[in-house]
Structure 1
């Protein structure tokens, strides 16, 4: 942790520079947005995330994934948190989220505590952005300054969730194109993919890779097969990073160089393509990965936020007011 603290100030500065450099609405976000209206916000979120991660380390990855899946659909507006009703179709049952998106109860807990301290003030979208950052830090990753001031959507899009969230079976060109559509560079895409240094994946998302693909270490494939048979066991889990699944670092990229990426989309980053050199850099330089990941998280958090009088501040993150 001493190393992480050494780069914390640098990353905070870097993130602020990135924020100032961004456009299309993100300039309306500010790290000090709630400094007078909810001064204890970050402490409330951090304490709740610490409790959740101490109970289950995987929760940090689940919250990070929620934030990613939220931002790629309509922007970072907490639309992913909305429940389906008889008259409303949300994003939770879209293919990338159904039976896999998790952590909603943690966000509910944080929202309840924040509402008790600062009634009708803080958006669910901002809570999710802060919780994603805190989960990374709690597992040993770098910190960054989170710009705030997002508001919550009154709408959701299951169709956009089905088409705009990258698939675990995607090719490198598709990944680059899908991130580019959100204003994120290929470098951002590779850095953000490093979030797979934590968390787990279901057998159904990597079965084809461990049985049929050739750019995979044969011993690695063999170790994955007992828990992911050729048929059945679709929901069985395996760590995305076989080395340190509960520590945030650059082991993910070391795995790619060794052809031990679990998902097809992971190994695509190191398969004779345009990102090979960057993957090699990250695999040998955790500081480079940490700084790029932090900056990319700020940029992703700036995707089409609702600000000003747009959207609302939800009282309950699962339903519109």
Structure 2
């Protein structure tokens, strides 16, 4: 039979072990709680309690006005893309600058449209729920809703983004993929946002709607390498047609050209078919043919049914919409989208 002394020792050791176990468990729980706070996630229906009509207000506004200006659908999805590639999807692309140093002032964003449209939606939302819904979420929702209203695919838009307080012209230049980008640059800039080659191909598919200014690709027609030559990667017949009927000089900054000739108003596989024919407008379009992985994926999309592309596109759009978002206590909820509080 154990002595009283040994019994006390065993009890003490048992108690100590239990204490250590409890301490470890508490530390694990605390760590998980910390991680949960620092990696707050977007969620569906984020505004269900504090602004339950928010998403309906955005949808109703888009439904009312986009049919009168359907070209804005392409403009809004482009705005969403440009916003997410600089500081994440935080509405920083909307901020004005009096010194010409904001993202709006960067060359990639000089042709962006739809700022007034977002401002008007924000005003309606603010009237119902002041200081609750972020401009970043409004961009994401309006981009999706406008594509749906014009006959394109839908995708999940979890909300809870907060607005950034900074907007920098140089960051826009350094992060937004340009129409003159080669494959190496495209892969790097998408990779920096945790978007892979599949996402690159799918998100490029948004070029199936909308138009572009000649200035975004006229160097391919008139002065590709600086000696007055034409880009050999561009179909020569298509190039001749563009020169004769659209972009009649390298200095044309006003003429608009369909990115997907014949079906620019339809969200379909036309863009990929043009790329395979070497008729993508941009160097960045042609660059997708220079890599075996992206080229193979384009061929798979073209040979498959349209719903495959639409569902895959939806997944990539949701993935892009999560890039470097600000949630929790980060950033702010702007009262007016063009200025910080």
Taking structure 1 as the reference length, the TM-score comes to 0.88
SS in 2 for 1:270: coil
Going from structure 1 to structure 2, the CA distance change for 1:312 and 1:56 (only over 3 Å counts) comes to same
Q: Do the aligned partners of 2:179 and 2:216 also contact (CA within 8 Å) in 1? A: yes
SS in 2 for 1:315: coil
How far did 1:255 drift?
1.0
Which runs of 4 or more aligned residues in structure 1 lie more than 6 Å from their structure 2 counterparts after TM superposition?
Answer: 23-26
Structure 1 stretches lacking a partner, 5+ long: 1-22
Q: Do the aligned partners of 2:221 and 2:231 also contact (CA within 8 Å) in 1? A: yes
Match of 2:104 in 1: 92
How far did 1:107 drift?
0.1
Match of 2:233 in 1: 215
SS in 1 for 2:145: helix
Q: Do the aligned partners of 1:215 and 1:271 also contact (CA within 8 Å) in 2? A: no
**Following the alignment from structure 2 to structure 1, what is the Cα–Cα distance between the partners of residues 333 and 318?**
21
Q: Do the aligned partners of 1:197 and 1:244 also contact (CA within 8 Å) in 2? A: yes
CA deviation profile, 1:188-220 (whole Å, cap 9, x unmatched)? 011000011111111111112234112323332
Going from structure 1 to structure 2, the CA distance change for 1:165 and 1:303 (only over 3 Å counts) comes to same
Q: Do the aligned partners of 2:89 and 2:325 also contact (CA within 8 Å) in 1? A: yes
Match of 1:151 in 2: 162
**Following the alignment from structure 1 to structure 2, what is the Cα–Cα distance between the partners of residues 251 and 214?**
22
Q: How many residues align?
A: 297
Match of 1:178 in 2: 189
Match of 2:179 in 1: 168
How far did 1:159 drift?
1.1
SS in 2 for 1:201: strand
Match of 2:284 in 1: 265
Match of 2:3 in 1: none
Which structure ranks higher in relative contact order (CA pairs < 8 Å, sequence separation ≥ 6)? Answer: 1
Q: Do the aligned partners of 1:140 and 1:249 also contact (CA within 8 Å) in 2? A: no
Going from structure 1 to structure 2, the CA distance change for 1:279 and 1:39 (only over 3 Å counts) comes to same
User: Equivalences for 1:151-300 in 2 at 5 Å?
Assistant: 151-211=162-222, 212-225=230-243, 226-271=245-290, 273-285=292-304, 286-300=306-320
Q: Do the aligned partners of 2:72 and 2:114 also contact (CA within 8 Å) in 1? A: yes
**Following the alignment from structure 1 to structure 2, what is the Cα–Cα distance between the partners of residues 215 and 85?**
41
How far did 1:26 drift?
6.7
How far did 1:272 drift?
5.6
45-54 vs 108-117, which deviates more? 45-54
Q: Do the aligned partners of 1:26 and 1:302 also contact (CA within 8 Å) in 2? A: no
Q: 1:55 aligns with which of 65, 68, 80?
A: 68
Going from structure 1 to structure 2, the CA distance change for 1:24 and 1:69 (only over 3 Å counts) comes to farther
Going from structure 1 to structure 2, the CA distance change for 1:288 and 1:235 (only over 3 Å counts) comes to same
Taking structure 2 as the reference length, the TM-score comes to 0.83
